[in-house]
Structure 1
Amino acid sequence: MNLIPREVSSLARWSLDAPVGTLLVLGTNGGMGVAPNTSFRLVFGRCEPDVHVCVGTTDQHVSRQQGYIVRDQSRWVLNNIGKRSIRLPGSQRLLIGGDKAELPGGYTQLFVVSPREEHPLEVLVVDRPLGKISAFDPRLATQPGETWPLDELEKLVIVCLAQRYLCGDARPQPLTWNQVAAELSELRPTERWTSSRAAHIVAKVRERLSLTVDGLMETDIPPPAGHMINHNLIIELLVTTTLVRSDLSVLDG
């Protein structure tokens, strides 16, 4: 077992050298890594003295011991023993108290669902020898299932569009184009930002990814498409860890 320092902002972009099958979990105040050949039960929840990894530390709706992850033969299994549901990524599937689910290999962001917000809990199950390769290695960025390449301007606009998702809102929606243009105009007052410009930049990204990903074009969605195509884009970028919570820093100005 090894502690993960709180300075690590996200497991999605943390370079490491660990055996296949290693479990890494990151919460509010750091995290923990567990070797694959152990029966150790990693407990997470609100109350720091009672858990190994904290999540929702200031939210009394989250259980003091919300759940645990334990090795079951060749797999890691998530068990919800708390009062709040745990949402799995990329879907509306919820694990209620007493439910359990096998964790897939690779990176997964879970959410403990509270009445006012969702608290993220990052999990990484090492599923291949990583050696010394950094998660920023460009060879990884263009592979299917890995992060999608975005330039600086695309990342800025999409993070602004998706900020409610990255902040952990319980029922997130993309910002409107007018809201995006207004925020970017305030952030970069020397540039000319309009709703059309923001929409055009994101449309180019959707078009590029639509060669591989379904549901990103208006022709893919029964009318009215509304925000759905942007929602689908954001979910794809979250699931592939192209967007992570720490990306909100680009909006700090």
Structure 2
Amino acid sequence: MHFPDSLARGVAPVRPGTLHARTVTGGVKAAPQAGAVVRFGRAGKPEVDLGVGEDDLHVSRQHGELAYRERQWWLRNTGQQLVRLPRGQFLHATTDPIPLATGYTPLFVKGCGHREHLVELYVSGHDDDGLTPHRRAETLPPKIWPLDDVERLLLVILGQRYLYYEENPRPLTYRQAADSLADIRRDERWGERKIEARVETVRRRLDACGFPFPLIHDMAMGRPCDNNLLHNLLRGLVDSTTLVPTDLELLEDDHHA
């Protein structure tokens, strides 16, 4: 989808705070006026303004609403199933409404089985007028985080499930990594503590460089599990394509022979 159409074409100035909402069955636009409400759900018009999951009985007839107040659009779940937002955030019917940030926000309404129904939201900002298409410009590359050869090998071993793009991957243990290294680098001695220390060095270095996920213990919030910090590290490295599936070739026994 090109979203929203008026912005994509660079026509008709859009008032800041205007809400654009779209699903596979249609779309609506709402001006930022106090008391404005946009409802979405299975029922379709006129009961809701935007249909979603119209063939899925697990989606409520009125599953959510967006209300404009205090100069912001607020999202509330009014349905029986969860609404999922980016970065693992969920809304239940008992959850307080949350404000929408300017720009694009996808949300997913949980349906039958593994089905999820997408609702695309866009709140225009002050810089949306006169957007210029960049169809011929060079694509901006993802940020690649610096790793030396040893760090890359260690992280590929620990994060191989992420590189196979498994569902809900978790890191290998340091014990498992040490066993793998004993096969791959037979002339070197790598114990669990040595691997853990090297990974901690990477975490501290990348955290200081603005890594997008937490990598260091926040003592004010309590001490999290090291495994969760390692998960954050591996997720960020794979998401940024710093680690890619071809790196799995490093695990071949004869690669470092």
Alignment partner, residue 243 of structure 1: none
The alignment covers a number of residue pairs equal to 176
Distance 1:177 1:35 in 2: 44
- TM-score by length of structure 1 reads 0.53
Does the C-alpha gap of structure 1 residues 27 and 94 become closer, same or farther in structure 2, counting only changes over 3 Å? same
Distance 2:238 2:42 in 1: 28
CA contact (8 A) 1:14 1:134 kept: no
Distance 2:240 2:92 in 1: 21
How far apart are residue 177 of structure 1 and its match?
A: 3.9
Alignment partner of 1:120 is 2:118? yes
Which amino acid in 2 is paired with 1:92?
Answer: Q
Does the C-alpha gap of structure 1 residues 215 and 69 become closer, same or farther in structure 2, counting only changes over 3 Å? closer
Alignment partner of 1:231 is 2:240? no
Alignment partner of 1:94 is 2:94? no
Identity, % of aligned pairs? 25
Alignment partner of 1:77 is 2:68? no
Distance 1:9 1:88 in 2: 20
Which amino acid in 2 is paired with 1:61?
Answer: H
CA contact (8 A) 1:67 1:81 kept: yes
Of the candidates 15, 20, 28, which is equivalent to residue 16 of structure 2? 20
How far apart are residue 91 of structure 1 and its match?
A: 2.7
Unaligned runs of 5+ in 2: 145-159, 167-205, 216-224, 242-257
Alignment partner of 1:149 is 2:140? yes
Alignment partner, residue 131 of structure 1: 129
How far apart are residue 228 of structure 1 and its match?
A: 4.7
CA contact (8 A) 2:163 2:238 kept: no
Alignment partner, residue 214 of structure 1: 212
CA contact (8 A) 2:35 2:67 kept: yes
CA contact (8 A) 2:82 2:90 kept: no
- TM-score by length of structure 2 reads 0.53
- Give SS of 1:48's match: coil
Does the C-alpha gap of structure 1 residues 46 and 224 become closer, same or farther in structure 2, counting only changes over 3 Å? closer
Does the C-alpha gap of structure 1 residues 127 and 227 become closer, same or farther in structure 2, counting only changes over 3 Å? same
Which amino acid in 2 is paired with 1:76?
Answer: W
Of the candidates 39, 43, 51, which is equivalent to residue 43 of structure 1? 39
Distance 1:41 1:27 in 2: 17
How far apart are residue 40 of structure 1 and its match?
A: 2.6
Structure of greater Rg: 2
Unaligned runs of 5+ in 1: 1-7, 142-147, 155-173, 181-207, 238-253
- Give SS of 1:31's match: strand
